[in-house]
Amino acid sequence: MSAISFPTKQLNSLSTPCYFYDMVVLEQTLATIKREVAAYKNYEVHYAVKANANPRILRAISAAGLGADCVSGGEIRAAIEAGFPGSKVVFAGVGKADWEIRLGLEHDICCFNVESVPELEVINQLAAEADKVARVAFRINPDVGAHTHANITTGLAENKFGISMRDMEYVIQLAKQMEHVHFVGLHFHIGSQILEMDDFVALSHRVNELQEQLETAGVKVESINVGGGLGIDYQQPTLHPVPNFADYFATYANNLKLRPGQSLHFELGRSIVGQCGALLSRVLYVKQGTNKQFAILDAGMTDLIRPALYQAHHSILNLTSEEPAQTYDVVGPICESSDVFAKGVMLPAAKRGDLFALLSAGAYGEIMASKYNCRSLPQAYYSDEIVKD
């Protein structure tokens, strides 16, 4: 497996800040998923569009045959435009607006992941108006913690997501009485950037318990959706450009008991696109502080917000310099103290104009960019368009 590679000569001509996507890394990741998932019958992988909705990235993923997991009407549009068939689109989210539900109905999407009773009632009503039957799954809050950052755990009772286990049977019975919804299954998602397979084991055990409960009640479940959350190696991206999908799928295969004919759905975001993207930026100034030195970049938290938002780590390379290393705080130009990419990192001695790469920025990078401080959104470039040989 090759890690992201930087054609430095060609990249030097790009204006920064910008995103650079290595399409070979993305293709290798997709090929690995397809190979690993093929070992199991009835496993289906959907891509969580929210991680990166760049049209070229979406097209590559739809061409690989994956489905799309959307959390807004805009994402449904982006997925359909990129070639995902409506039949492979699922729609999740705690606050679906009427127009978004109608859009999903129009495209006959595979499933609405429903998070509350009022939402179920609205879907039933809008489906009736459209003379359709909406397939629905219930997102159940499994009260399973994940060993990840507090802001990205979603499966605890205290989080806003999902329906409580206590209400599960009641909402399913409610759906069965409605004419324009068809209950297909259960949906879960416990968080993101999860590297401990034990967290997925815990979710599997919870699913098994709930399945037994429903079996006793005589409820038939067609599909189970365990969400996404598989993490990537932000510390050593070049050693692990492709996540360990084999382990991930095997963890579910070994722990989650599917019933005959049931399908198991996955919604992977970060693990599919995280390692193929980098944020490129130039050094504007090297500034001597009281007892440290700053490398001030032309990229900031408006281009990549993860360090400011989640104290996330991104490995940084100086693509220009081969000088002996020095210690830097790498910061952006935005008027916020949290606009810091890294503190006290060793990098080859930097000077004005050097090209820096912030690695593992393919997920929750470009898509979260903002115009704060009246900045422009970063451009994107692709390895197969830059290097032509």
Assess 50 for contact with ligand PLP (CB under 6 A).
yes
Does 189 help bind ligand PLP (rule: CB under 6 A)? yes
Task: Locate 308 and state its tokens.
Answer: 């400011």
Interface pick for ligand PLP out of 22, 119, 267, 366 (rule CB under 6 A):
267
User: Least distance in Å: CB of 188 to ligand PLP?
Assistant: 9
Binding mask 219-248 for ligand PLP (x = CB under 6 A): --------xxxx------------------
Taking CB under 6 A as the criterion, the residue among 162, 185, 241, 269 binding ligand PLP is: 269
CA distance 110 to 231: 26
Q: How far is the CB of 230 from ligand PLP (least distance, A)?
A: 6
Closer of 124 and 193 to ligand PLP (Cβ): 193
What are the b/e assignments for 75-112, b being 16+ CB within 10 Å?
Answer: bbebbbebebebebbbbbbeebeeebbebbbebebbbb
Residue with tokens 């998070």: 115
Return the amino acid letter for 136: V
CB of 273 to ligand PLP, least distance (A): 8
Residue list 110-169, contact with ligand PLP (CB under 6 A): none
Q: Compute the least distance from the CB of residue 271 to ligand PLP, in Å.
A: 6
Asked if residue 282 lies in contact with residue 308, where contact means CB atoms within 8 angstroms, the answer is no
End-to-end CA distance of the chain: 21
Question: Phi, psi (5° rounding) for residue 181?
Answer: -130, 145
The counts of H helices and E strands in the chain are 12, 17
Contacting residue, 66, 92, 163, 283, with ligand PLP by CB under 6 A:
92
**Residue 192 touching ligand PLP (CB under 6 A):** yes
- The amino acid at residue 131 is D
Residues near ligand PLP, by CB under 6 A: 48, 50-51, 69, 71, 92, 189, 192, 227-230, 267-271
